[in-house]
Structure 1
C-alpha cells in the first residue's frame, strides 16, 4: 500500500473530530496512537459474530475465536522475526511484560549481582528493576546520559562487568525521543554474559524490529503504541529462557496437570498466560500489525523524520522556546519548555485550540531531575500527522505566548 498521509488519515475516524470548534491536531502519540477503522471494526466483529473463549470449546464459535487469536500470535511473531511463534506471550502491555521478566529474575539474582539500566528509563522499567534489587540484594546501576539526552556509551561500558546479570534500556526514550543504539548495547551486554531486555514501547512503531538480528533476550511492547487497542501487549523472549522461566501467575490455561497436592505447568506460550485471555484485543492487535505491515516502512520513517525536522527547525526559531533532548539520533518526540509558561498551562491553552500534547514528567521523574527541570511540554508525531499539524502547533504556541505575556 503506497504511503499517502492524507489517505491514511481518512482511515482514522477520530482525526475528523473537532475540539471547541477547532479541528483536532493530535500530537500525543507517545502516550497512545489512534486506531484505524479496520482495528475498530475487528473488535465489533469479534463481539458481534464469534465471541467465545478460546482453545477448549467444542463448538464453532470457539474454533473461530481460537483460530483468530492464535493467528494474531503468528502475526506478531512474524513482525518481530521471532524464531518461533511460542516465543510471543500475550500480556496486558509493556509494564506487565517487564514484570513477568522481573518476577523470574528474583529467582536468579542474589547479593553481589548487578542490574544495569539507564537514566532514560520510564518508571515501568526503572521501578521494576529497583524493586527486584531491593528483594534480592542485587545492586542497581544507572548508566548516565549527556546534557543532550544521549546515552554516555563510555559510562555504560564502565558499569558492565562479570557481575552484570541483566541490562535493560528503552529502544526510544518516551520523554526525549532519544533513539538508543540497541544492537551495539546488546552486543556489549552479551559480551559479559548478561541478559538483555529492551523496552520497545516507543520504538516499535518507529523502527523495524528484528529480534534475531538485535540479539536481545527479551523485547516488550504494547499494542496501543502501534495503532492497536489498549490493554494488550506482548513479551517476546528467547524460547530457551521462557520455557524454564519461573511462572508469573497460576490458574487456568497455564496448567498441564493438577492434583490436590501438586501441579505441573503447560508448554510455551501458555505456561506464562494464566487465566482467560484478552481475546478480542489480541485479535485487534494482530489486525493493527497487519495493517501497519502493508504500509511502506521506509516511507513512514522518512515522513516522520521530516515532521520532526520541521518541528525542530520551527522550535529553534521560536523566541523563548527551549528544546529538551537534542540527541543527534531521535525519533518522533519534541519536548520543550516555553519561557514564562508552566508546561501544564501550555497544554491547557493548546487544548483550547484543539491541539493535543502531553505535559509533565512523562513517567520519567528521575530523568527530569537529572535535567534539572520539573517536566516538559511534549509533542509526539505519528505516521498520520502532517506538516499542517506541525504548523498548527507553532501557530498555537504563538497564541499561548501572547496569553502568557
Structure 2
C-alpha cells in the first residue's frame, strides 16, 4: 500500500465512536450513509446546549452568544469551501433543501424553459427538478453509459441550447463513485445562460470542495456525512439567491438566509457545524508537510484524497481479480470516491447482513439512485452491496473487509 499521509491513530482519536465499547470490533463501511461525528463538532454542540440554548439574536448575553455561535458556523463553513458567508444556507436536510429549491425555481422559470437532469443522481437532486414538468418546463435527461454508469460530457453538450435554464448533476454518484467534471459542467451551462446545481453529498466527505474553482451556482451537501450533525448545507451564489422567489415568511424577504429555508433549522446544530471546519484544520495539522495546499482546507482535501486512494488500492486489486461480481464505476481510485458498489447474484442487503458476522458494517439496496440502477440493468429491488469508507478507515480494516468478502462470495 502507498504510504499514508495521515496517521490513522491520531485521526481516529478525534472520533469518540472509535472508543465506544458497543462498537468495538466492528469496521464501519457505511460512511456514504453517514459518517461518525468529530469531537470538535460534539464539543460545540454540547457547549451550545449547555450555555446558549435560548432564542438567538436577542438583546441579553446568552442570546447574543447563541447568535454569534451560529454566525461563526456560516463563516467557517464558507471558508472551508472557499466562498463568502452570504453563500451559506442551513436547512433540515439535503432532501428538504432541494425540495424548497424546486419550489422556488418552479416560480422563477417559465413554461417552455428547459432544464437538464441526470439519471445518475440520488433522487434528491433529480426528483425535485423532474416535478417541474407539471409546470410546463421541458425536462431533458443526461443519461449514463449503461455499462459503466459514467456521464460523458458530450452527452450534456448535445442537450444544451438557449432554452436550458438549469443543469442539475452530482459531483459524484453515491453508487458509481466516479468524480464528475464539475468545472466543465458549470462552464458549459454558463455558456448558454444556465444555472448549475451540484449535489456534493457523496463527494464532500472526501475533502472540502473548492467552490471558487468549480464555478457552480448552487452546491449542497449533508453535514452528517461530513463528520457533523444532521443538517443540510447549501451554498448558493448570493445574486441568484436574491433573484429566486422568497420561500419564507413575507417579512423576511430582505434576509438572504431566511428566503430559502422556510422552516428554521436547529440552532444548536448550525453552531456545531463550525466544528466541521475545526476538524478539517486538524486534518491539515496531522498531515503536516506531507501534502501541499494554499490553506489548511486545501491541505485537508489533498490529505484526505491521498489517504483514501492509498486505502483503496488493495481493495480494487482484490475486486478486479474476481469474475463473480460487477464493480459499478471505475476501479481507478484517483478518479472516484471510495464508495464501492458491487452487483452480485444475491441481493445486496442479504450479503450485507452476512458480512455482519465478520464485524463489517455495510449496506445493500438502491440507495435512492433508483434510476441509475435501472439504467444499468440492475433491478433496484435486488440492489447492490455498497461498502464505503473515508480517510479514518485503517489498512487493517480494508484487509478485514477483503477477507470477509472472500469468505461470503466464495
The TM-score normalised by the length of structure 1 is: 0.90
Q: What are the superposed Cα offsets for residues 324-355 of structure 1, whole Å, 9 maximum, x if unpaired?
A: 2227521111111334x221211101123221
Alpha-carbon shift at residue 17 of structure 1 (Å) = 4.5
**Is the deviation greater in 352-361 or in 62-71?**
352-361
| Cα distance, 1:208 vs structure 2 | 4.0
1:38 positional shift = 2.5
The answer on whether the counterparts of 2:246 and 2:260 sit within 8 Å (CA) in structure 1 is: yes
3-state SS in 2 of match to 1:30: helix
How far apart in 2 are the matches of 1:332 and 1:72? 28
How many Å separate the matches in 2 of 1:323 and 1:18? 34
- What residue number does 2:330 align with? 326
* Correspondence for 1:281: 269
Q: 1:235: which partner in 2? A: 234
Q: Give the Cα–Cα distance (whole angstroms) in 2 for the partners of residues 14 and 65 of structure 1.
A: 27
Q: Please identify runs of 4+ aligned residues in structure 1 that moved more than 6 A.
A: none
In structure 2, the residue corresponding to 1:352 is in which secondary structure?
Answer: helix
Of 145-154 and 321-330, the range deviating more from structure 2: 321-330
> Contact 1:358 / 1:377 at 8 angstroms: preserved in 2?
yes
Structure 2: tracts of 5 or more residues without a match: 285-299
1:381 aligns with 2:369: no
SS in 1 for 2:256: coil
Structure 2 counterpart of 1:255, from 238, 251, 254: 251
Question: Structure 2: how far apart are the matches of 1:22 and 1:12?
Answer: 13
Over aligned residues, Cα RMSD in angstroms?
1.9
Q: Report the alpha carbon displacement of residue 193 of structure 1 after superposing the two structures with TM.
A: 0.8
SS at match of 2:385: strand
Would you say the 8 A contact 1:18–1:354 is kept in 2? no
> How far 1:266 moved relative to its partner?
2.8
Q: Which moved more, 1:99-108 or 1:68-77?
A: 99-108
- SS of the residue 2:319 aligns to: helix
> Could you tell me which residue of structure 1 aligns to residue 401 of structure 2?
393
Equivalent in the alignment of 1:225:
225
How far 1:207 moved relative to its partner? Answer: 4.1
Equivalent position to 1:266, from 250, 254, 257: 254
Q: Answer whether contact 2:44 2:275 (CA < 8 A) is retained.
A: yes
**Secondary structure of residue in 1 paired with 2:190:** helix
SS of residue matched to 1:168: strand
Equivalent position to 2:376, from 355, 371, 388: 371
**Secondary structure class of the residue paired with 1:169:** strand
Change in Cα spacing, 1:66 to 1:25, as seen in structure 2 (3 Å) is same
Q: 2:7 aligns with which of 4, 14, 17?
A: 4
Equivalence for 1:103: 103
Check 1:192–1:348 CA distance in 2 against 1; reply closer, same or farther (3 A cut): same
CA contact 1:311–1:334 (8 Å) conserved in 2: no
Rounded Cα–Cα distance in structure 1 between residues aligned with 2:68 and 2:209: 25
CA drift at 1:205: 2.3
Question: Which residue matches 2:342?
Answer: 336
Question: Counterparts in 2 of 1:37-186, with a 5 A limit?
Answer: 37-55=39-57, 57-82=58-83, 84-134=84-134, 136-146=135-145, 147-186=147-186
Distance 1:274 1:126, change over 3 A: closer
Deviations 1:208-232 (A, max 9, x none): 42222222211111111110011x1
Q: Which residue of 1 aligns with 2:355?
A: 350
Secondary structure at 2:32 match in 1: coil
Contact 2:11 2:283 in 1 (8 A): no
1:80 is displaced (CA, Å) by: 1.9
SS in structure 2 at match of 1:167: strand
How far apart in 2 are the matches of 1:376 and 1:144? Answer: 20
Identify if the C-alpha distance between structure 1 residues 116 and 400 changes in structure 2 by more than 3 Å, giving closer, same or farther: same
How far does residue 389 in structure 1 lie from its aligned partner after superposition? 1.2
